[in-house]
Amino acid sequence: MSGLGNITKKEIRELLTPATFVPIILVALIFATMGNSIQGIQEQSQTPPTIGVINEDNSTFGAIASTILHDHAKVIYNSTSSSDKQVALETLKEKNGVALIIIPQNFTERIRHEQPGNIEVYWIMKGAGLMDTLSSSMFESLIVYINTNISKELIQENTSIHNASFVLSPTKRSETTYFKNREFQGLSPSTISGMLSSQTMLIPIVMMMIIIMAGSIVITSMALEKENKTLETLLTLPVKRTSIVTGKIVAAAIIGLLLAIIYMIGMQFYFSGFQFSGGVNFAAYGLVITSMDFIWIGVSLFITLIAGLSLCMLMGTFAKNYKSAQTLTFPITMLAMIPMFITMFADFDTLPLALKIFTFAIPFSHPMMAPRALLFHDYTLVIGGIVYVAIFAMVTISIVVWVFKTDRLLIGTTKFKWMKKIIRRRF
């Protein structure tokens, strides 16, 4: 066998281990699950928006608007009287509608008198994620299209209107959004979504960074105990296994929190440059995170950090050395990144059931979802999350302590023998 072949064969034998493949297989499975669920949301958003139309204006421009809406959207409620507004809204809420459009009686007349024709839009917002606002974004482009067509009509008619700016923009919009049983006058779903994102994005990013950094500390610490041959001595000292496990977790949590504070200071400055409020005071809508809410967020963050680190500790017991520790950090990183992206792109309430269960099951999701949930006083999700994560942490710590009490920590597992046999046979 040539030198190259010999080296290649030896390297493959060393690299072809369960520690290399299991994390990647897990990540592949997670991505496959996420892809399927997100595909469902995308398909939903590509279908024409479901709307209701109340057109009180049967003149030229009212007809243009109505025709465009009927041609490009799925109109499930149609009326000519604004007194049907409540019925229309109820129907749309029931049938998953996006918005109700009211074209008032004087729409054409106002435009003819060089006054912007008002289009009343009542948005029904389901979630605050980027994917949730896709249908409303699509519908917003329809309103722009209506404006353009009325402009064309004005130019073709060669009217006596000489104000070019008005001809190019003959309509205006008055918007009201209904979201989580609240009414937001003058705000569109994309504005609300933007504001919520700017207020709640910091925690998911910080949470992800703490878990990645502190988790890596714990896994590496276990790996180094084995690699530096200090673990055996530690396990024969008069100290409880629970104390060893808890000590390592608490130390990593303290370091993780310190890193998080440094990180948060930097991120706070970064976000302050981008924050978009649209000149709207959130407090006016009752959307304020109170000091009590901050305590809930703190509790959620702390419990999740402990749960995350105990999970890392469990992973760390599998680490044989520093190299394998790096591989084992990967699934934890992915578990922290997945809820960050999910909370960024979609709202927990609007997720498909499978993805909802998956998101809830990941402990790191909870502090990421907590700020938005608390803004809307959804304490069930926050407290439920804290209870779930606390149970998760207790179970994981118990498993770690059990592993510490068994021979497994020192002599490794005897499982995967079948894989080792196959590798030996083939190479």
* DSSP secondary structure code for residue 406 in this structure: S
Minimum CB distance to other proteins, residue 413 (Å): 9
> Residue numbers of the site for other proteins (CB under 8 A)?
228-230, 232-233, 235-240, 406-407, 410-411, 414
The smaller minimum CB distance to other proteins, of residues 113 and 424, is found at 424
Minimum CB distance to other proteins, residue 370 (Å): 36
Minimum CB distance to other proteins, residue 16 (Å): 21
Helices and strands (H and E) in the chain: how many: 18, 6
Burial 384-396 (b: 16+ CB within 10 A, else e): ebbebbbebbeeb
Dihedral pair phi/psi, residue 226, rounded to 5°: -75, -45
92 Cβ contact list (under 8 Å, min separation 6): 50, 51, 52, 76, 77, 98, 99, 100, 124
Closest CA to 66 of 8, 130, 123, 145: 145
The smaller minimum CB distance to other proteins, of residues 296 and 404, is found at 404
d(CA 246, CA 269): 34
The smaller minimum CB distance to other proteins, of residues 247 and 298, is found at 247
The smaller minimum CB distance to other proteins, of residues 283 and 411, is found at 411
Give SS3 for 185. strand
The smaller minimum CB distance to other proteins, of residues 83 and 236, is found at 236
Minimum CB distance to other proteins, residue 405 (Å): 9
247, 425 contact by CB (below 8 A):
no
Angle, CA 406 vertex, CA 400 and CA 409 arms, to 5°: 70
Structure tokens that stand for 65 in this block: 């608007």
The smaller minimum CB distance to other proteins, of residues 159 and 243, is found at 243
The smaller minimum CB distance to other proteins, of residues 94 and 407, is found at 407
Minimum CB distance to other proteins, residue 409 (Å): 9
Minimum CB distance to other proteins, residue 235 (Å): 6
Minimum CB distance to other proteins, residue 325 (Å): 16
Minimum CB distance to other proteins, residue 309 (Å): 20
Angle, CA 321 vertex, CA 317 and CA 324 arms, to 5°: 80
* DSSP secondary structure code for residue 51 in this structure: E
> Which long-range contacts (C-beta less than 8 Å, at least 24 apart) are formed by 223-226?
223/316, 223/319, 223/320, 223/321, 223/322, 223/324, 223/325, 224/322, 224/325, 226/319, 226/320, 226/321
The smaller minimum CB distance to other proteins, of residues 258 and 410, is found at 410
Minimum CB distance to other proteins, residue 258 (Å): 18
Structure tokens that stand for 289 in this block: 């995170």
The smaller minimum CB distance to other proteins, of residues 79 and 242, is found at 242
305, 211 contact by CB (below 8 A):
yes
